[in-house]
Amino acid sequence: MSENASTFKAKSTIKSADLDHRFKVNFNIGKYNNAVPLGKLQFRDTDLARERAKNVKWRAIETLDQQLEDFESNFTRRGGKVIWAEDAEQALASILEICKAKNCKSVVKSKSMVTEEIHLNKFLGEHNIESVETDLGEYIQQLDGEPPYHIVTPAMHKSKEDVAKLFYEKLHTPPNLTPQQLTLVAREKLRAKYPVAEIGVTGANFIIADTGSIAVTENEGNARLSAAFPKTHIVIVGIEKVIPSLSDLSLFWPLLATYGTGQKVTVYNSIFSGPRQAGETDGPTEMYVILLDNGRTNILDNPVTRESLYCIRCGACLNACPVYKNIGGHAYGSTYSGPIGSVITPQLSGLKEWKHLSNASSLCGNCTEVCAVKINLHELLLENRYEAAESGLASTGEKLAWKLWKTASLSRKMMNTGNKKIKNWMVNKAFSGWTAHRSGLDFAAKTFNQQWKEKTGSGASD
C-alpha cells in the first residue's frame, strides 16, 4: 500500500467516527441542499442547460489547442502577457521572476484551487514574500494553517464558534464574536493589505477564447480588489478552464452559481481582458495569465477520462457524495477532493500513488446525478480502477483474493462444498481487509442446487 493510501485510510477511519465533524458538515450541506432547488427555478429546463454546458465544454476541450491560442492572441493584443507552464515548478519560477522584477514584498490573493495545487503560499513564504488570502473562508483556513476543506467553501467544516475561537487565539479578539463581528474583523485586517501589496493573484473560473479574457466569480468582492489595487495582476489558471465565447457565460454563470451555492447568480462576476488601457483611470498596469498544464494534457490524451476536464469546480459532487460527507475534505490528502478529486488526482499525479481514491467510492452514482456539466463521474472512477488493474498496480494479496473468488464462483462443485459456517469463516478470513469495516459475507444456508431441487424437484447442473 502506498504511503498516501495508508494516510488516507488512517485519516478516514478517524474522521468517519467523528460525530461532531459529521454534524457540522451535514448542517452546512443541509443549507446548500435547501438553496439549490430555489436556484434551479431560474432554468426552464435544468437538464437541457447541463447538457448544453457539457456540449460547449466538449467542443472547447476537443479544440483546446486552438482555443488557447485564440485566447493568447486576443489577450496579448491588449497588452496582456501569457506564460505557458508545463508544471508547478515552471509556474512558480515565472511567478518568482515577476515578484523579483517588481521588488514584491507582499501579495494579495483571492481563492484559487490552482494556487493550492502548486503550493504558492508556501513557495512565496520561502522567498520572504507575504501571501495573504483575502477570501474569508480561505483567510480562516490560512489563519488555522489548514488547506481548504472544500473547493467552494474552504472552511465548511468549522462552526461559527470554531471561527470565533480561532480569531480569539490568533488575532486576540474577544472570544465570543458573532459571525457579523468576525467578518468585520477580517475585513479590517484585509482591507489594510490591498493598498500595500505590489502584486494581486487570482485564479479564473473561465478563460474566454474569442475575447481574450478571463472571468472570475466570487461573493465577497475580494478578487476584484486583488486584481484592481496592485500594479501587477497575475492570473494562474488550468488550461481546461477555457470556453469558446463570451456569450457562453450566459449559460455557465447561472449554472456555476446554482450548483455551487444555490444562488441564481454569484454576487460579483468580473471579466478581465488585459491591463489598464490608455485613458483608463484604474486597474493594474501589467497583467499576466499563467496557463498551467501540470498533468492536464495527460488527461486530455486519455479518450475516456478526458471528460473530467469539463469540470467547472462547482463542488456539487462533493456535497452529494456519501464518502466525502463522512471522511471530509482533508482525508483525501490531495488538492481536489470528493468525486472529481478521486477522478482527476490519480490521472494528474499518478495511479500508483493515488488509485486508492478511486476505490473509495460506493459507486452510488449520486455525483453523476448532480454534476453541473453531466460528467459521468462514477464511470470514470471505474475507469481509473480498470486502468490501475490493467497496469498491474493491484497488490499481490488483492490479485490472489480475486483469483480465488473467480475460481470458486465459476465452479458449482466448489460452491456446493462445505456448509455455510465453514464457507463464511473461510471467505471472511480471506477478505479480512474488506470485512474489517463492513459486515461479513454471509452464505445462504442451502446451496443454489439444493434450493433449485426443492423448488423444481430436479437437480441443476454443475
The residue (of 313 and 423) whose beta carbon lies closer to ligand SF4 is: 313
230 and 199 Cβ atoms separated by less than 8 Å:
yes
Q: How far is the CB of 357 from ligand SF4 (least distance, A)?
A: 14
Show the beta-strand stretches assigned E in 23-161.
81-85, 106-109, 130-133
Contact string 223-262 vs ligand SF4 (x = CB under 6 A): ------------------------------------x---
Regarding 315 and contact with ligand SF4 (CB under 6 A), the answer is yes
**Which of 29, 140, 236, 317 lies at the binding interface for ligand SF4 (CB under 6 A)?**
317
Using the rule CB under 6 A, give the single segment among 181-189, 261-269, 311-319, 354-362 that binds ligand SF4.
311-319
Q: What is the torsional sign of CA 389, 392, 394, 396? A: positive
The residue (of 237 and 372) whose beta carbon lies closer to ligand SF4 is: 372
Residue type, 341: G
Q: How far is the CB of 192 from ligand SF4 (least distance, A)?
A: 34
The CA distance from 334 to 86, in Å, is: 19
Using the rule CB under 6 A, give the single segment among 159-167, 313-321, 395-403, 416-424 that binds ligand SF4.
313-321
Q: How far is the CB of 247 from ligand SF4 (least distance, A)?
A: 20
Using the rule CB under 6 A, give the single segment among 86-94, 155-163, 370-378, 436-444 that binds ligand SF4.
370-378
155: cell is 472552511
Local structure of 345: helix, strand or coil: helix
Contact string 337-356 vs ligand SF4 (x = CB under 6 A): ---x----------------
The CA distance from 171 to 161, in Å, is: 15
Regarding 21 and contact with ligand SF4 (CB under 6 A), the answer is no
- From residue 274, alpha-carbon distances to 86, 246, 411 in Å are 23, 15, 68
The CA distance from 371 to 377, in Å, is: 8
219: cell is 461573493
Alpha-helical (H) ranges within 192-311 are 222-228, 249-261, 296-300
Using the rule CB under 6 A, give the single segment among 35-43, 217-225, 315-323, 349-357 that binds ligand SF4.
315-323
The CA distance from 373 to 377, in Å, is: 11
How many beta carbons lie within 10 A of that of residue 341, not counting itself? Answer: 24
The residue (of 98 and 371) whose beta carbon lies closer to ligand SF4 is: 371
**Which of 312, 321, 351, 381 lies at the binding interface for ligand SF4 (CB under 6 A)?**
312
Q: What is the CA 59 to chain-centroid distance, rounded? A: 22
The CA distance from 261 to 402, in Å, is: 42
Q: How far is the CB of 267 from ligand SF4 (least distance, A)?
A: 19
Using only C-alpha atoms, the chain has a radius of gyration, in whole angstroms, of 25
Regarding 373 and contact with ligand SF4 (CB under 6 A), the answer is yes
Q: How far is the CB of 53 from ligand SF4 (least distance, A)?
A: 9
| Distance, first Cα to last Cα, the chain | 38
Beta partners for 268?
Answer: 218
Q: How far is the CB of 384 from ligand SF4 (least distance, A)?
A: 14
Q: How far is the CB of 214 from ligand SF4 (least distance, A)?
A: 18
Contacts with ligand SF4, residue ranges (CB under 6 A): 259, 311-317, 340, 370-373, 375, 377
